[in-house]
Structure 1
Amino acid sequence: MSDEDGQRRPFRSLLHRRPDDDRDHLPDEGALAPFTRATAWLNSPPLTPAGLRGRVVLVDFWTFTCVNWLRTAPYLRAWHAKYASAGLTVIGVHTPEFGFEHDLPTVTDRVRQLGIEYPVAVDSDYGVWGDFDNHYWPALYVADADGRLRYHRFGEGEYAMTEMVLQELLRDAGADLDGSLIMPDARGLEVAADWPTLRSPETYLGYGQSSGFVSEDAGLYDLSSVYPGGARLTLNEWDLTGRWTQTRAAAVSGGADGRVSFAFHARDVNLVMGPAAGRGAVPFRVLLDGRPPGEAHGTDIDAAGNGVLDQQNTYQLIRQPGPIATRLVELVFPDGGAEAYCFTFG
C-alpha cells in the first residue's frame, strides 16, 4: 500500500558513482534510528542500534494486509534465511494501517501464518515510524555494521539491487559470500503484479480516502442506507447495492444480499475485508462479468465464486489466466455482516 496520504513517489537509485574511480559506493544517510517506541516485540527480545553493532541491519516497515508488502515477503524471508549466519539482522516493523491491525494477538497470528521468523517490532503507536520519519508501506532501510544507514527503498521491486547492497555491506563487515542472488518461489498474494496490464489503482471504500464511488453522498456518511445500485460502471468506478453504512474506514454491509461492484483492468483483484464486529464467519460469492469466475478464481474462493470471511485480511478474489481486459467484479454477501476496506490489484 501507499503512504498514509495515499501518495506514491518515484524511486531513484541511491548507488552513486565515485568521481575519482570506477567503483560504486553507498552514501551515508545518518544513524540507524532507535526502536525504543515499539509497543511489543515478536520473535526476539527488544533490539537496539548499539546492540546491533557489527551486524548489517535491514529494517522493513510493513502491515499485514498490504499487498505491496506481501509481494516483498518471499524476498525478506529468503534474505533472512540466507544471510543471518553471515551477519544480517532483518527487523520487520509492523505499523498498522487499519484499526484491526493494532490487535497484538492478530499480528502475532499473522506473523506465524506468513512464516516470519526474523524479529518483529510491533509499532502500534507509530513511534518507530516517526523516529525513522517513514511515510510508506513497504519501506526498507539498510544500515551497515557501524550503525549508519546506507540505502533505502520505498515500495516493492528492485530486489536484485537491494540484495547486492546487502552483500556489499556484509562483505565490508568481513563476510565471505559467493555473490549469487536468491530466486524465491512466490505463491498466491505474494506473486508479483502483472505490471504491463495493471490499470486499476488501490481504492478505499471508506469515505476517509474513497474514490470512484458513483453513489457517494456525504449526507449518508456513517448512516445505514439502502443504495439502489444498477449504475453502468466505467473503468475504476465502483458502487454499492443494498443496505450499507459507509464509515470513514470501510463499507459495512447491514442487510441480506448486499453487493459491491467494481469495473477493473488487472490480472488480480484483492479486497481487504472481514466479518463485522460481533459476527462469526460470513459467506460471500464473487461474480466476474455476472458469471462464476471459473479458472479465473483467486486463492480465497472456489471456481463457483464461493468464499468465507473468517478473519480480517486481504482476500484474493480473481487471478485471470488469459488476456486482460476491463471487466466487472461483484461481491455478494447473502447474509450481510461484512466490512470491506480497500481493493487492490495486481
Structure 2
Amino acid sequence: MVKFDWRRIQAEAEEDYEKAWLETRNLLKITGRSFQPKKVGKPHHVFDFIAKARQILFKLGYEEVMVPIIVDESAVYKEYGPEAPLILDRIFYLAGLPRPDIGLGQKKIQQIREIIPDFQKVKEFQDIFRWYKKNQIESDDLIEVMVTELEVKEEKATEILTKVFPELRNLTPKPTKKTLRSHFTALWFLILAELQYQQSLPIQLFSIGEKFRREQKLDATHLYNSYTISTVIMAEDFTLEDGQYMAKKILTGFGFEDVKFEIKKATAKYYAPQTEFEVFFKHPTLNKWIEIGDGGFYSPVPLANFEIEYPVFNIGFGVERFVMVQEGYNDI
C-alpha cells in the first residue's frame, strides 16, 4: 500500500524541488500487476442529461456542430452594436505570456558553469533561445530540447532555467482581443454566414458546450462556467410561433410538460424587438414557475453585419438548471 506523507514532500520540495522531484519517484510502484478496475462506472448527472438531450434533438431534425470556444471581440460588437461595451464587462478576455529576448552574456555563462562546470555548448544554447523566441520551440518542449541539444541531464536543464534566467519567471500576461464565449450567438452568426451558401434551407443546428461569464458573485445558481444547449433554425418561412412550438417539443422530450413563454420587456440587441422570450416550467414540488431557457428571432441588423440573408431563430437552455430540478439539487 502506498500513502504519501504530503507534508514532508511539500517541505522537501520547498527546500530543493529538483531533488524532491527525483527522489519521490521511489515512492511509486513501477513493475508488477496489482490493480483491478471497478466492475461498473458511474456517469455524471450533467453528462448523462447531455447524452439524452442529443438523442432528442437528433429526432427533431437537428444537426450537431462543434462551436468554437474562442471568439474575437469584434464579433461581439457586430452582434450587440451599441450595447457591446456593457456586455463585454461580463466576458473573460484571453491573455498570453510574451516570449522574452534572452541574452547569453559572460555572467550567465559563468552561472551555468557553476551548475555544469564543463559546459561548452554556448552557441548551441544561443540557437535554442533564438528558436524559442521565434516560436519554433513549444514552451513545454524547451527543457527536452536543452537535454537533447546541450547533452545535459533533465534536472540540470531545469536548474539552469530556474536559477540563471529569472526573466522566464517574471513575465506579465499581455491581453488580447480574444475572448471566451459568454454564449453561442456570435459564433452562430459566423457559422451560419458560411452554411447559408453550402446547405439547403431550412438549416437546423445545435451545439452543447460550456459558456464562460465573469460573474460578479458566485453562489448556488451562478458559476464562471456552465453548460448550455444552444439551437438555431435558419429558414425563409418561419414564425415566432413556430419557434415556441419547437421549444415546447424539445422541452417535452426533456421531460418538462407544463411550460409557458413570456416576451421580455427589455430585448437584447442581437434579438429583434419584442421577439425575445423566456421559457418557464412549473416546478412540481416548489409549485412555482422556474426560468429554464431564452430564445427569439435574431435581429436583421446583426445578421446583416455578418452578411446573413435569412431569418434565424435561436433558443438556448441551461443544462445544470435542468439537472438541478430533475435530481432535486438546490446548489449548482
- TM-score class normalised by the smaller sequence: under 0.3
TM-score by length of 1: 0.25
Whose relative contact order is higher, 1 or 2, with alpha carbons under 8 Å and at least 6 apart?
2
Higher helix share: 2
TM-score by length of 2: 0.25
Higher strand share: 1
